[in-house]
């Protein structure tokens, strides 16, 4: 099937980035959230990010204006359902995702493809609670969406080839690269990345090194652009912990046991950049290690 319109559920960090790249690629986008404030903030941020692309001569002013005009916002989930492709980009909590799909099902077109931007949750399980498991798959963008080139495409056990081919076509139209992953906990990127971050937390927890030395060691010793603890703050410690729990529960292997220190930071509400404190304190002019 040809996809012309895209519905995005969730106007947060991932949702607004997905809306941005979809509109720029020529798709009509309907962006949904439960709060009007979030929608207004998302559109404002998309505009600023498009302006940045214009200033760097990545796109023209006309392309910027046309893309922004392709995005409409709504708090009504039924309006998002009237599209060719729906991408759920809400919080990484399975019960929340199930509720979103249950609320959108009655309004969906018969041929609409349902997808989730989940970074770790079973696609087969999410699909099983819908009326179209054959037209359901994982559509996992990397953060920040306008910058990162990879999209993981994850087929559930029932996903048909036509659905996969349609989503692959969208990725190619976006100018990004698709990596096909099997439906196992955390897929490819986070199956490798998040345990590395968790191990960095254990290295801190056990006193092998402090925040600064751990991040410096990995940046200069492994040529990583960001240290693992800095990256954890960027992703959000709550998201990192949620993915570690999915790995631990789904694979029943003790090597995926979340570090108690990560759990403690999340309990404190120190989730990283978005709360101004995590492994670094961002309340001043320069980030300062908290340990």
Which domains are seen in the chain, by residue range? Answer: 5-182 (3.40.50.720), 191-289 (1.10.1040.10)
Average pLDDT, the chain: 96
pLDDT band at 1 (very low <50, low <70, confident <90, very high): confident
Q: Residue ranges for the binding site for NAD(+)?
A: 10-15, 33, 92, 97, 119, 143, 274
> Which residues in the chain belong to E strands, given as ranges?
5-9, 28-32, 71-74, 85-88, 113-116, 136-141, 150-155, 177-181, 280-281, 288-289
Tell me the per-residue pLDDT of 35-82, one tens digit each, with 9 for 90 and over.
Answer: 999 999 999 999 999 999 999 999 999 999 999 999 999 999 999 999
Average pLDDT on 136-147 reads: 96
**Using one digit for the tens of pLDDT, what is the confidence trace for 81-139?**
999 999 999 988 899 999 999 999 999 999 999 999 999 899 999 999 999 999 999 99
Burial 281-290 (b: 16+ CB within 10 A, else e): ebeeeebebe
Tell me the pLDDT tens digit for each residue of 198-231.
999 999 999 999 999 999 999 999 999 999 999 9
pLDDT given for residue 96 in this prediction? 95
Mean pLDDT computed over 234-241: 94
- Specify binding-site residues: 10-15, 33, 92, 97, 119, 143, 274
pLDDT band at 248 (very low <50, low <70, confident <90, very high): very high
The 3-state DSSP class for residue 87 equals strand
Active site residues: 119, 140, 152, 190
């Amino acid at each position: 099937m040809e996809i012309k319109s895209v519905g995005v559920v969730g106007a947060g960090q991932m949702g607004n980035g997905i809306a941005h790249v979809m509109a720029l690629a020529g798709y009509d986008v309907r962006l949904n959230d439960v709060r009007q404030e979030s929608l207004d903030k998302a559109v404002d941020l998309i505009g600023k990010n498009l302006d940045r692309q214009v200033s760097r001569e990545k796109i023209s002013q006309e392309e910027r204006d046309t893309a922004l005009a392709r995005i409409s916002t709504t708090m009504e989930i039924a309006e998002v359902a009237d599209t060719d492709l729906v991408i759920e980009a809400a919080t990484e909590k399975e019960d929340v995702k199930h509720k979103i799909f249950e609320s959108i099902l009655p309004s969906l077109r018969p041929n609409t493809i349902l997808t989730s931007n989940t970074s770790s949750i079973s696609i087969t399980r999410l699909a099983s609670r819908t009326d179209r498991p054959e037209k359901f798959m994982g559509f996992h963008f990397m953060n920040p969406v306008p910058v990162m080139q990879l999209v993981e495409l994850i087929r559930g056990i029932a996903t048909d080839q036509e659905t996969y081919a349609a989503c692959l076509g969208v990725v190619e139209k976006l100018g990004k690269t698709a990596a096909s992953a099997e439906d196992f906990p955390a897929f490819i990127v986070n199956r490798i990345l998040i345990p590395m971050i968790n191990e960095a937390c254990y290295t801190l927890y056990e006193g092998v090194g402090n925040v600064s030395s751990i991040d410096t060691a990995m940046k200069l010793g492994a040529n990583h652009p960001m240290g693992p603890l800095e990256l954890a703050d960027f992703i959000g410690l709550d998201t990192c912990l949620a993915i570690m729990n999915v790995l631990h529960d789904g694979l029943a292997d003790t090597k995926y046991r979340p570090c108690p220190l990560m759990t403690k930071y999340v309990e404190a509400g120190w989730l990283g950049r978005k709360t101004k404190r995590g492994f670094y304190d961002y309340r001043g002019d320069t980030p300062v290690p908290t340990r």
